[in-house]
């Protein structure tokens, strides 16, 4: 399973390439599909600036950072229910 921490900063995304970030929206009683959970991660957990999004395709997002010379790919998927979510963080190829 992935790393479960409540918040991950935008900088930490680039520092943690290769992990899967798990989170739950059960406390908020938010049942989210994979596209909604990606948006939740971008807006409410990591606070990724819109201008740093290179490609947005619902469950897959590619982002850049001014301090890094590589792009990061984020892939959203569920963990068995609409309250348990995962974001896979990898280096964009």
Give the C-alpha distances (Å, rounded to integers) separating 4 from 21, 66, 84, 86, 87: 6, 26, 11, 9, 11
Q: In the predicted model, is pLDDT for residue 88 greater than 70?
A: yes
Cα-Cα-Cα-Cα torsion 48, 85, 18, 52, nearest 10 degrees, comes to -20
3-state percent helix, strand, coil for the chain, nearest multiple of 5: 25, 30, 45
Map residue 43 onto helix, strand or coil. Answer: helix
Facing residues of 4 across strands?
22
- What pLDDT score was predicted for residue 76? 98
Q: What is the mean pLDDT of the chain?
A: 92
- What pLDDT score was predicted for residue 7? 79
């Amino acid at each position: 399973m992935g790393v479960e921490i409540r918040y991950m900063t935008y900088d930490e995304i680039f520092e943690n390439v290769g992990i899967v970030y798990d989170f739950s929206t059960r406390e908020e009683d938010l049942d989210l599909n994979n596209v909604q959970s990606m948006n939740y991660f971008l807006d409410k957990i990591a606070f990724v600036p819109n201008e740093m999004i290179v490609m947005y395709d619902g469950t897959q997002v590619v982002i850049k950072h001014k301090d890094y010379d590589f792009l990061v790919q984020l892939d959203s998927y569920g963990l068995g229910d609409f309250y348990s979510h995962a974001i896979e963080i990898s280096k964009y190829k």
